[in-house]
Chain A
Amino acid sequence: MNIIRLDTWDLSLAAMLVLVLAGLSFRLQLGASKQLLVAALRTAVQLTLIGLVLKLIFANVHLAWMLAMATIMLLVAGREVMVRQQRRFSGPWGYGLGTLSMFVSSFAVTLLALLVMVKAEPWYTPQYAIPLLGMVLGNAMNGIALGLDRLTQGAWQQRRAIEAQLLLGFAWHEAIAATRMEAMRAGMMPIINAMTAAGVVSLPGMMTGQILAGTPPVEAVKYQILIMFLITACTGFGTLMAVWLGSRHLFDERQRLRLDRLQETR
């Protein structure tokens, strides 16, 4: 492939821009210069590390390595979903709910893509499996975190209306229905917006990357469409599952609203 390699000077020049920006924010007393530098440093370190890891995995194609990598990605994403909630379920549900939903939806979608659509040999070829899983998982993470956050916040704010409906003899799923629909919509909105704007307002990162690497644009576009649909399916199904399970867990076996199962963070 006709790839133009970046040398140290190219990266240093880009880093200089960030340094200048940090200097300017310091002068303007935005209080963000330290955060900016730390974040930039993290980007450099984390991406370098993942580059080395990928190099290692690409050189030793083995299912066990792939599974280990996939597990780590899932666990980190699960933690991210948890910390993004203002009111999350206490105990194992806090971590388990988002992680389980992400596991089911993103692993199912990625397996489908690898086995049926991409058909690499072997199917777990890391060059395809890792980026695919990464993109699917990252988006599902956003959707599920948003959906769950909206669900628990909504239940908290609407608790009197929800209890009033329970008191009139409504079942739990009727009493939570409006809040649950709101949460499911909120979780799916970003990906719907992304599909709407794709190619018109924004050039998706993966496609841009492939084009930079020399792939013919039409081939890159086909991949991008595939990815977009996979991401949408995964985010959507994952969000529906997480919000449904979460809404169920807001009520106990006697259909009481159990907000004591939530804990406030921050």
Chain B
Amino acid sequence: MRDIGPLDFSVAAGECVCLSGASGAGKSLLLRALADMEPHLGRVFLDGVGCEIVPAPQWRRNVALLTAESAWWHDRVGEHFSRVDESLLAELGFEKQVMGADVHSLSTGERQRLALLRLLAGRPRVLLLDEPTASLDPLNTERVEHLLRRYREEQDAGVLWVSHDPLQVRRVAHRHWHLEDGHLREEILST
């Protein structure tokens, strides 16, 4: 177990908070702890209900983490989806035939975008995004940002977004925190 903190923060419904910090500062670890994937001493609440009294799978469906690298366990893309929203597919630049594609034939960026759709299909209440656009070109970055904004507004979802790109932070964030030496520092967002 590693020590990052003590940290005390909250993300409101419908709010997007960006998180930055040097690599190794513990951003990913923090997101994993929030999704209850790491043993942790801190306490996490969703709408006032503590993480520890919610069954773990249910907690993770509500507080959904998108990892920096996507992982796939079946051969075909479609086998990973319980349901497919074709309009969302189109919004990220996919035809619906992509569901029949071999996972290994896709690029890292394509897999990353599909992993986002796979996560959103569960209708999570909170999104923890670990550099969701790191492997994307500018066009697809814009598509993802747009889709996430729409999801956040329609579902009134809270978003905690790890990003290294100051321009992106300015585009998507309501608030911006910087994690350093176990402290969260609130950065001023220049508009």
Q: Which residues of A contact B (CB under 8 A)?
A: 158, 160-161, 163-171, 178, 252, 254-257
**A164 close to B70 (CB less than 8 A):** yes
CA distance A256 to B69 in the complex (A): 19
Which residues does chain A contribute within 8 Å of B61, judged by CB atoms? 168-169
Is B65 part of the contact surface with A, judged by Cβ < 8 Å?
yes
With A167-B65, A168-B60 given, is the CB distance from A161 to B118 under 8 Å? no
Q: What does DSSP make chain B's interface, helix, strand, loop or mixed?
A: loop
Which residues does chain A contribute within 8 Å of B70, judged by CB atoms? 164
Within 8 Å by CB of B118, from A158, A160, A168, A171, lies A168
**A169 close to B71 (CB less than 8 A):** no
Task: State the total of A-B contacts with C-beta under 8 angstroms.
Answer: 53
Digitize B66-91: 1 where CB-to-A-CB distance is under 8 Å, 0 elsewhere: 01011111000000000000000000
Within 8 Å by CB of B39, from A160, A163, A165, A252, lies A252
**B58 close to A169 (CB less than 8 A):** yes
Within 8 Å by CB of B60, from A161, A167, A178, lies A167
**A161 close to B65 (CB less than 8 A):** no
> What are 22 residue pairs bridging A and B, where the CB atoms are less than 8 Å apart in the complex?
A161-B71, A163-B37, A163-B67, A163-B71, A164-B70, A166-B37, A166-B56, A166-B57, A167-B35, A167-B65, A167-B67, A168-B60, A168-B61, A168-B119, A168-B122, A169-B57, A169-B58, A169-B122, A170-B57, A254-B56, A255-B56, A255-B57
Interface size on B, residues (CB 8 A): 22
**A256 close to B60 (CB less than 8 A):** no
**A164 close to B73 (CB less than 8 A):** yes
Is B17 part of the contact surface with A, judged by Cβ < 8 Å?
no
**A161 close to B72 (CB less than 8 A):** yes
Which residues does chain A contribute within 8 Å of B118, judged by CB atoms? 168
**A164 close to B60 (CB less than 8 A):** no
Known: A168-B119, A257-B37. 8 other contacts (CB 8 A): A166-B56, A168-B118, A169-B61, A169-B122, A254-B36, A254-B56, A255-B56, A256-B39
Which residues does chain B contribute within 8 Å of A257, judged by CB atoms? 37
**B71 close to A160 (CB less than 8 A):** yes
Which residues does chain B contribute within 8 Å of A168, judged by CB atoms? 60-61, 64, 118-119, 122
Which residues does chain B contribute within 8 Å of A167, judged by CB atoms? 35, 37, 60, 64-65, 67, 119
Closest 7 CB pairs of A and B: A169-B61, A164-B71, A161-B73, A160-B71, A255-B56, A169-B57, A254-B56
Q: Closest CB-CB distance, B71 to chain A, in whole Å? A: 4
**In the complex, which residue of chain A has the Cβ closest to the Cβ of B115?**
A164
With A168-B118, A169-B122 given, is the CB distance from A160 to B57 under 8 Å? no
Interface residues of B in 10-66 (CB under 8 A from A): 35-39, 52, 56-58, 60-61, 64-65
Which residues does chain A contribute within 8 Å of B56, judged by CB atoms? 166, 254-256
CA distance A254 to B40 in the complex (A): 11
**In the complex, which residue of chain B has the Cβ closest to the Cβ of A164?**
B71
CA distance A164 to B116 in the complex (A): 12
**In the complex, which residue of chain A has the Cβ closest to the Cβ of B82?**
A168
Q: Closest CB-CB distance, B32 to chain A, in whole Å? A: 9
CA distance A37 to B56 in the complex (A): 56
With A169-B60, A255-B56 given, is the CB distance from A164 to B39 under 8 Å? no
Digitize B118-159: 1 where CB-to-A-CB distance is under 8 Å, 0 elsewhere: 110010000000000000000000000000000000000000
Which residues does chain A contribute within 8 Å of B69, judged by CB atoms? 160
Q: Closest CB-CB distance, B122 to chain A, in whole Å? A: 6
Which residues does chain B contribute within 8 Å of A254, judged by CB atoms? 36, 39, 52, 56
**A165 close to B64 (CB less than 8 A):** no
**A256 close to B67 (CB less than 8 A):** no
CA distance A169 to B70 in the complex (A): 15
CA distance A190 to B126 in the complex (A): 48
Within 8 Å by CB of A165, from B35, B38, B58, B73, lies B73
